Amino acid sequence: MKLFDPHIHMTSRTTLDYEAMAGAGIVAVVEPSFWMGQPRSHVGSFEDYFASLLGWERFRASQFGIRHFCTLSLNPKEANSARIAQGVIDLLPRYLSKDGVVAVGEIGYDDMTLEEDKYFAAQLELAIRFDLPALIHTPHRDKKRGTERSLALVREVGFPEGRALIDHNTEETLPLVLESGCWAGHSIYPFTKMDEPRMVALVKRYGAERILINSAADWGVSDPLKVPKTAALMRESGISEADIERIVWQNPVAFFSQSGRLDLGPLGDSPAIDQTRLWEGNSVLRGQQPIVKR
Amino acid sequence: MTLTSSELEQLLRELVERRIEPPSREWLERTLAALGAAPDRGALLEAFTAATRRLGRARLAPTEAEMARLDGAGVSWPIGSWGADELGRVALLVAAAAHWPEAELPALVEECYRQGDGAERQAVLRALPLLPGPERFLETAVDACRSHIQPLFEAIACENPYPARYFPELNFNQMVLKALFTGVALERVIGCDGRVTPELSRMAAGYASERRAAGRSVPPDIGRLTGERGDQP
């Protein structure tokens, strides 16, 4: 079964992770732009960051047989920085129409401030303008209220619910999201957010429609193999193959295909690997024999 | 009672000087004297950064007599965990505040913070309640609450009177929720009990409910915010 990790920050991961992911059946990933663990203080830092998501990281993924797509945005935390927020919003139109950008995201709430409200709404408008779906992060603190407010804002802006993916759901937020018509993402984490057995319980209760899972792996304690691991536990727990495939492949493909820019190649197979290729003169290899698989 | 900046500078300097060797003492005296004679931005930033190398990291651990003097000077919160470098940096900022044109101080403090490493940023946060016009530094203090670097978060959230005194309700509530989320004991949040509002109680109860729905434990001290019983540690 082909697997899709629809939320993973590969910039923070190693080539060993790419190898392990490809080995476990992951053939496509979406990397949302987000923050770097500490605040950036110049708009130019975002220019370079967006360029690396569209350039070097996509190349790096291809060297391990994984198709890399991204979503771009001003993230919720940095929406609070007066030094950069408006500058990043002004920069985004240069990038949102590029190939392989499959949504605006991750946007949403962190502290639920007025600035976050303003830039969340502004970026939903940008998504409408660039005909993109939206990937919406929900906050760690006051999560239920944050989810309710996100759903309310989506309605207020008139953003089509079927083009909004609300992420990082829990037992308390999933029913709200499903009721709204938005798609529901779940980040399977070693300690916080959601774990595999709880995810299995949610699928048994709510089914597979509009439900996605991701690893949200980043620079913190996280696991880029959470999608295959959760799929394995679903299988062991008696969830049907059809439902599993829907969650780990058909749903993310259907959601991000709404961008018109999710090019998975013929039949969504793994892309050919050619490690003899270079990116701006750079290779991912360090003296190894290049692998070439057609 | 609060002391003037130069009296506070004197007190902090005495505290640090008792804990360092003569060459470090001479460096600190020379640096502070030069700052007093002619405020120089480059010299201050350089000294601020060099403080760990110059003064070392020995823990302050004040005596009872010293604590009484600090308390008399308005420093009623615990500073025993500060290192000599941290105390020296705070003394440098307090000295700068005494000698710098008032309107230029925020930019200087912000520069120390933004270009600082972890220890420098922590020292800035520790100094905020001791600087004149502390409300001017709100943005830096709130920004530190968004950090995932736990010691940095704790430098503003714990053993620091700044948030309870100057944070708007939204930012204070978010900081307390983050303290719960990251396992910080609420007794370390100075002035927390006095800032409990119905909204903070609601948020804390929501967090307890989310934890229980996920089959996880609830922080034992959550009752300070909600009146309910948390789980025993």
The three state secondary structure string of chain A is: CCEEECCCCHHHCCHHHHHHHHHCCEEEEEEECCCCCCCCCCHHHHHHHHHHHHCHHHHHHHCCCCEEEEEECCCCCHHHCCCCHHHHHHHHHHHHCCCCEEEEEEEECCCCCHHHHHHHHHHHHHHHHCCCCEEEECCCCCHHHHHHHHHHHHHHHCCCHHHEEECCCCCCCHHHHHHHCCEEEEEECCCCCECHHHHHHHHHHHCCCCEEEECCCCCCCCCCCHHHHHHHHHHHCCCCHHHHHHHHHHHHHHHHHCCCCCCCCHHHCCCCEECCCCECCECCCCCCCCCEEC
Q: How far is A82 from chain B (nearest CA, A)?
A: 9
- Using a CB-CB distance cutoff of 8 angstroms, which residues of chain A are in contact with residue B147? 38-39
Report the distance separating Cα B44 and Cα B31, nearest Å.
8
Whether residue A91 contacts residue A126, with contact meaning beta carbons closer than 8 Å, is answered with no
- The answer on pLDDT for B223 being more than 90 is yes
Q: How far is A133 from chain B (nearest CA, A)?
A: 27
Report the distance separating Cα B98 and Cα B89, nearest Å.
14
Report the distance separating Cα A237 and Cα A232, nearest Å.
9
Can you tell me the mean pLDDT for B183-196?
A: 96
CA dist B191 to B90, B153, B221, Å? Answer: 22, 17, 15
- Using a CB-CB distance cutoff of 8 angstroms, which residues of chain B are in contact with residue A81? 143
A281 phi, psi to nearest 5 deg: 85, -5
Q: Indicate yes or no: CB of A142 within 8 angstroms of CB of B181.
A: no
Q: How far is B211 from chain A (nearest CA, A)?
A: 10
Could you count the other beta carbons within 10 Å of the beta carbon of residue A170? 20
Whether residue B97 contacts residue B131, with contact meaning beta carbons closer than 8 Å, is answered with yes
**Chain A residue with the nearest C-alpha to that of B216:** A192
Q: How far is B93 from chain A (nearest CA, A)?
A: 22
- The answer on pLDDT for B202 being more than 80 is yes
Question: What integer pLDDT is reported at residue B9 of this predicted model?
Answer: 86
Contacts of A90 (CB under 8 A, 6+ apart): none
Q: How far is B181 from chain A (nearest CA, A)?
A: 8
User: Nearest-CA neighbor of A235 among A188, A200, A185?
Assistant: A200
Report the distance separating Cα A171 and Cα A157, nearest Å.
26
pLDDT (tens, 9 = 90+) of chain A, 294 residues, equals 999 999 999 999 999 999 999 999 999 999 999 998 888 999 999 999 999 999 999 999 999 999 999 999 999 999 999 999 999 999 999 999 999 999 999 999 999 999 999 999 999 999 999 999 999 999 999 999 999 999 999 999 999 999 999 999 999 999 999 999 999 999 999 877 789 999 999 999 999 999 999 999 999 999 999 999 999 999 999 999 999 999 999 999 999 999 999 998 865 667 788 888 888 888 888 778 888 887
B111 at A interface, C-beta within 8 A: no
> Domain spans of chain A?
3-276
Question: What integer pLDDT is reported at residue A177 of this predicted model?
Answer: 98
- Using a CB-CB distance cutoff of 8 angstroms, which residues of chain A are in contact with residue B201? none
**Chain B residue with the nearest C-alpha to that of A173:** B210
Question: What integer pLDDT is reported at residue B3 of this predicted model?
Answer: 53
- The answer on pLDDT for B2 being more than 70 is no
pLDDT tens digits, B69-117: 999 989 999 998 899 999 999 999 999 998 899 899 999 999 999 999 9
**Chain B residue with the nearest C-alpha to that of A191:** B216
Question: What integer pLDDT is reported at residue B1 of this predicted model?
Answer: 40
**Chain B residue with the nearest C-alpha to that of A42:** B114
CA dist A192 to A188, A205, B210, Å? Answer: 8, 21, 11
Of B170, B206, B210, the CB nearest to A111: B170
Helix (H, G, I), strand (E, B) or coil at B115: coil
Q: Indicate yes or no: CB of A144 within 8 angstroms of CB of B147.
A: no
Which residues between 114 and 173 in chain B have a beta carbon less than 8 angstroms from any beta carbon of chain A?
A: 114, 139, 142-143, 146-149, 170-171
Best interface-test mutation with B: which of A35, A36, A38 has the largest number of B CBs within 10 A? A38
Angle at A31 between CA A292 and CA A176, to 5 degrees: 140
Sheet holding A26-32, edge to edge: A3-5, A26-32, A67-72, A101-108, A134-137, A164-166, A183-187, A211-214
Query: Which residue reads 């933004």 in tokens?
Result: B114
**Chain B residue with the nearest C-alpha to that of A37:** B148
User: Alpha-carbon dihedral of residues A97, A98, A102, A103, nearest 10 degrees?
Assistant: -40
- Using a CB-CB distance cutoff of 8 angstroms, which residues of chain A are in contact with residue B174? 111-112, 141-142
Q: Indicate yes or no: CB of A172 within 8 angstroms of CB of B213.
A: yes
Can the peptide bond before residue A106 be classed as cis, meaning omega within 30 degrees of 0?
yes
Whether residue A141 contacts residue B207, with contact meaning beta carbons closer than 8 Å, is answered with yes
A165 phi, psi to nearest 5 deg: -110, 115
Question: What integer pLDDT is reported at residue A288 of this predicted model?
Answer: 81
A38 at B interface, C-beta within 8 A: yes
A205 at B interface, C-beta within 8 A: no
The partner residues of A107 in beta bridges, in order of sequence, read A136
Report the distance separating Cα B81 and Cα B21, nearest Å.
20
Report the distance separating Cα A183 and Cα A138, nearest Å.
13
- Using a CB-CB distance cutoff of 8 angstroms, which residues of chain B are in contact with residue A113? 170
Q: Indicate yes or no: CB of B114 within 8 angstroms of CB of A41.
A: yes
Chain-wide mean pLDDT for chain B?
A: 92
**Chain B residue with the nearest C-alpha to that of A83:** B139
Q: Radius of gyration (Cα) for chain A, nearest Å?
A: 18
A3-276 classified as CATH 3.20.20.140: yes
B212 at A interface, C-beta within 8 A: no
A112 at B interface, C-beta within 8 A: yes
Helix (H, G, I), strand (E, B) or coil at B83: strand
pLDDT tens digits, B107-152: 999 999 999 999 999 999 999 999 999 999 999 999 999 998 899 9
**Chain A residue with the nearest C-alpha to that of B201:** A142
Q: How far is B38 from chain A (nearest CA, A)?
A: 30
Q: Indicate yes or no: CB of A111 within 8 angstroms of CB of B139.
A: no
Report the distance separating Cα A185 and Cα A247, nearest Å.
10
Minimum mean pLDDT range among A12-21, A43-52, B170-179, B221-230: B221-230
B229: left (phi over 0), alpha (psi -120 to 50) or beta: beta
Contacts of A6 (CB under 8 A, 6+ apart): A29, A30, A165, A185, A212, A214, A252, A255, A256
B203 at A interface, C-beta within 8 A: yes
- Using a CB-CB distance cutoff of 8 angstroms, which residues of chain A are in contact with residue B114? 41
Report the distance separating Cα B100 and Cα B91, nearest Å.
14
Q: Indicate yes or no: CB of A144 within 8 angstroms of CB of B181.
A: no
Query: Which residue reads 């408008």 in tokens?
Result: A125
Query: Which residue reads 């760990």 in tokens?
Result: B52
ipTM of the modeled complex: 0.78
As a whole-number percent, the residues of chain B with pLDDT over 70 amount to 96
